[in-house]
């Protein structure tokens, strides 16, 4: 289990090349819920216009290329502290 899973940041990790298969398997689980629950879950899924998605990608890349963020991520991965994500 990774630190991100331990603190609830992510619920699942897919091996390289397996993300689409895992996403499809996870999505198929919605069909096992009753209709009301499935409808509520689907209400949260909305298409993101390409321009907005591209802007989010650009912001993400700018943010994660900053030295302070890179150092924080390194600390998160390498630290054995209980809450390594805190400054």
Residues 2-13 pLDDT 10s: 777 777 777 778
Tell me: do 52 and 87 sit in the same domain. yes
On whether the CB atoms of residues 10 and 2 are closer than 8 A, the answer is yes
Tell me: do 60 and 75 sit in the same domain. yes
On whether the CB atoms of residues 37 and 43 are closer than 8 A, the answer is no
Q: Domain range holding 68?
A: 47-87
Tell me: do 38 and 52 sit in the same domain. no
Q: Quick: pLDDT tens for 49-65.
A: 888 889 999 999 998 88
Tell me: do 32 and 72 sit in the same domain. no
Tell me: do 37 and 67 sit in the same domain. no
Tell me: do 28 and 59 sit in the same domain. no
Tell me: do 37 and 70 sit in the same domain. no
Q: Is the pTM of this model over 0.85?
A: no
What local confidence, expressed as pLDDT, does residue 33 receive? 79
Tell me: do 56 and 79 sit in the same domain. yes
Please give the tally of structural domains in the chain: 2
DSSP codes, 15-77: -TT-HHHHHHHHHHGGGGS-HHHHHHHHHH--PPPHHHHHHHHHHHHHHHTSHHHHHHHHHHH
If one compares 84 and 61, the residue with the highest pLDDT of the two is 61
């Amino acid at each position: 289990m990774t630190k991100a899973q331990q603190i609830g940041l992510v619920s699942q990790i897919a091996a390289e090349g397996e993300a689409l298969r895992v996403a499809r398997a996870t999505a198929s689980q919605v069909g096992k819920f009753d209709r009301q629950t499935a409808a509520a879950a689907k209400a949260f899924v909305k298409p993101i216009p390409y321009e907005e998605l591209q802007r989010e990608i650009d912001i993400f890349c700018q943010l994660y290329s900053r030295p302070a963020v890179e150092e924080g991520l390194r600390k998160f991965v390498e630290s054995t502290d209980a809450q390594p994500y805190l400054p």
